[in-house]
Homo-oligomer: A and B are copies of this chain.
Amino acid sequence: MTPSSRLDTTFAALADPTRRAILARLALGEASVTELAQPFAMSQPAISKHLKMLERAGLISRGRDAQRRPCRLEPQALADANGWLEGYRQFWETTFQRLDLLLDEMKAEKGMKPKGE
Contact = CB atoms under 8 A, between A and B. Distances in A.
Interface in A67-115: 73, 75-76, 78-79, 81-82, 84-89, 91-92, 95-96
Main secondary structure of the interface of A (DSSP, over half): helix
26 contacts: A4-B17, A7-B14, A7-B15, A7-B20, A8-B15, A8-B17, A10-B15, A11-B11, A11-B15, A12-B12, A12-B15, A14-B84, A20-B84, A24-B87, A27-B91, A73-B91, A75-B91, A75-B95, A75-B96, A76-B92, A78-B91, A79-B92, A82-B82, A82-B85, A82-B89, A82-B92
Nearest to A99: B75
This chain's copy number in the assembly: 2
A98 B10 CA distance: 24
Nearest to A90: B27
A18 to B, nearest CB: 10
A85 B88 contact: no
A79 B9 CA distance: 20
Contact of A12 (B9, B11, B76, B89): B11
